[in-house]
């Protein structure tokens, strides 16, 4: 219902009063002529108040004549009447239109580029690739080729496995996800040996293709031949195959973590104050007086708020809030026990990430040197140690 009222305001309507003896005749004639009336109320025995669309009001004159009634305008409401009232103030309308035009034009350019999600790949390298495909600050956003940028990023940087380039208003947001490089697989038609990745004692060896070079129980060092791809044959002098097999061995791994017992750091005292400034592209307008900061030791936190229409159209105007927190130096000390506990937690985290295979034995020792607790772990695991190595033909 409220939409109808808004619509009527937009189109413009008139509230009028009809005065006479034959009000019913007036109403019947308007109904017959398909003139829409609404909000009809009786004021007194000879008057009725009603609302009518501005465009249809002109037809009422004839109806009033036919029904012997008099029409009087009470209110004129709606957009057309407002425009008529201000029709002489052309400058105002020009100002409003030019404001929206400027907004639209300014947000058609790319003003800032944001790169999210990259850890190993350098942001500058990504910016360089984008420049090659034509996405720069200051360029019209419709001229930027998104698909070309995506393809270029994926081909130039092998570590990226997913790339998304989105243009939101005046901002280009690039989200990337890095993936683990697939291991170097030697193609099946090339002959290869299997060598040891690490030192260890063989627990299980089975060769599907190729000949075993070691037995269960042998100790091998890194790089030693496990399964040979060179087969001596009676018909030819030798035969080269692509060896395949599983080789498992017991290996020794060392992990180490350190925690220092005495920590001096700067902690916030709780006092802070804020400063504001506006930034238009490269121009920044300070909304405060004086540059000096009140505290001796402080930590600064900057909050950048980019103005945007809705969520998608980001304007090149930023509202920056700088918060200064006062800090003071404090020393925290841990006891030996607390230090050992923290060390143990850290080393468990490392174990999760770095140990592969099945864990057989685990030994952890703690040492204390110069107020630093060192935790060393020795792990014996059973893991796959086979690695393909290409056979080079020497002669």
Partner 1 sequence: MRKKINIREKKDNPLKKIGKIIELPQEFLEGATHIEIAGNREIIIEGCKGIIDYTEESIKLSAGKYAILIIGKNLEIKNLFDESIIINGFIIKIEYIF
Is 360 within 8 Å of 381 (Cβ atoms)? yes
Strand partners, 328: 267
| 204, β-bridge pairs | 248
Q: Does 30 bind partner 1 (CB under 8 A)?
A: yes
**Nearer to partner 1 (CB atom), residue 33 or residue 84:** 33
Q: Should residue 24 be labelled a site residue for partner 1 when binding is judged by CB under 8 A? A: yes
With CB under 8 A as the contact rule, which of the stretches 31-39, 102-110, 237-245, 350-358 interacts with partner 1? 31-39
Q: CA 334, 336, 340 angle in degrees (round to 5)?
A: 100
C-beta of 36: minimal distance to partner 1 in Å? Answer: 5
Q: Is 55 in the site for partner 1 (CB under 8 A)?
A: no
- Extract the tokens encoding 65: 């004549």
Q: Which is nearer to partner 1, 34 or 236 (CB)?
A: 34
* Residue whose CB is less far from partner 1, 23 or 113: 23
Counting contacts by CB under 8 A, is residue 385 touching partner 1?
Answer: no
What six digits make up the tokens of 111? Answer: 């003003």
Please count the residues of this chain forming the interface with partner 1, following the rule CB under 8 A: 18
Map the footprint of partner 1 across residues 237-256, applying CB under 8 A. Answer: none
Q: Does 68 bind partner 1 (CB under 8 A)?
A: no
3-class state of residue 130 by DSSP: helix
Does 387 sit near partner 1 (CB under 8 A)? no
48 forms part of the interface with partner 1 (CB under 8 A): yes
Find the shortest distance in angstroms from Cβ 71 to partner 1. Answer: 16
- Main-chain phi, psi angles of 138, to 5 degrees: 105, 5
99 is a site residue for partner 1 (CB under 8 A): no
Stretch that binds partner 1, among 41-49, 105-113, 132-140, 204-212 (CB under 8 A): 41-49
Tell me the C-alpha distance between 57 and 16, whole Å.
Answer: 9
Helix/strand/coil for 35: coil
Strand partners, 65: none
Of positions 7, 9, 10, 31, contacts partner 1 by CB under 8 A? 31
The count of residues in the chain is 395
- The interface mask with partner 1, positions 257-286, x = CB under 8 A, is ------------------------------
Output 37 or 314, the one with its CB closest to partner 1.
37
40 scored as a contact of partner 1 (CB under 8 A): yes
Q: Of these, 6, 9, 21, 42, which contacts partner 1 (CB under 8 A)?
A: 42
Which residues are bridge partners to 267 per DSSP? 328
For the beta carbon of residue 370, count every other beta carbon within 10 angstroms.
Answer: 7
CA gap 176, 188 in Å, rounded: 33
Q: Which residue has the tokens 């425009």?
A: 83
Nearest to 161, CA basis, from 175, 149, 173? 175
Q: Which is nearer to partner 1, 40 or 154 (CB)?
A: 40
Backbone phi and psi for residue 300, each to the nearest 5 degrees, phi listed first: -105, 135
Q: Rule CB under 8 A: which residues touch partner 1?
A: 23-24, 27-28, 30-34, 36-42, 45, 48
């Amino acid at each position: 219902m409220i939409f109808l009222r808004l619509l009527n305001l937009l189109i413009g309507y008139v509230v009028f009063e009809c005065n006479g003896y034959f009000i019913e005749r007036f109403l019947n004639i308007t109904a017959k002529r398909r003139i829409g009336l609404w909000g009809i109320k009786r004021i007194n025995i000879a008057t009725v108040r009603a609302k009518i669309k501005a465009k249809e009001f002109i037809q009422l004159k004839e109806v009033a004549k036919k029904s012997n009634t008099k029409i009087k305008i009470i209110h004129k409401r709606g957009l057309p009447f407002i425009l008529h009232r201000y029709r002489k103030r052309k400058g105002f309308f020009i100002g409003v239109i030019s404001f929206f035009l400027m907004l639209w034009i300014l947000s058609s350019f790319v003003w800032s580029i944001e790169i999210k999600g990259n850890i190993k790949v350098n942001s500058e390298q990504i910016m360089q690739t984008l420049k090659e495909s034509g996405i720069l600050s200051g360029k019209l956003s419709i001229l930027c080729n998104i698909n070309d940028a995506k393809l270029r990023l994926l081909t130039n940087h092998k570590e990226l496995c997913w790339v998304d380039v989105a243009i939101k208003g005046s901002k280009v947001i690039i989200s990337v996800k890095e993936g683990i490089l697939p291991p170097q697989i030697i193609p099946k038609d090339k002959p290869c040996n299997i060598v040891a990745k690490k030192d260890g004692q063989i627990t299980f060896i089975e060769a599907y293709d190729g000949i075993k070079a070691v037995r269960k129980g042998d100790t091998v060092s890194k790089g030693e031949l496990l399964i040979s791809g060179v087969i001596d044959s009676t018909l030819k002098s030798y035969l080269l195959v692509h060896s395949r097999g599983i080789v498992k061995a017991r290996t020794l791994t060392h992990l180490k973590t350190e925690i220092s017992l005495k920590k001096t750091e700067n902690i916030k005292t709780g006092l802070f104050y804020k400063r504001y400034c506006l930034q238009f592209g490269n121009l920044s307008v300070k909304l405060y007086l004086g540059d000096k900061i009140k505290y001796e030791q402080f930590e600064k936190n900057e909050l950048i708020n980019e103005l945007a229409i809705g969520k998608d159209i980001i304007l090149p105007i930023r509202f920056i809030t700088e918060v200064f927190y006062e800090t003071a130096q404090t020393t925290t000390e841990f006891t030996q026990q607390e230090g050992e506990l923290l060390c143990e937690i850290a080393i468990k985290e490392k174990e999760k990430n770095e140990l592969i295979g099945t864990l057989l034995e685990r030994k952890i020792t703690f040492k204390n040197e110069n107020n630093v607790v060192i935790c060393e772990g020795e792990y014996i695991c059973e893991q796959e140690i086979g690695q393909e190595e290409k056979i080079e033909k020497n002669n």
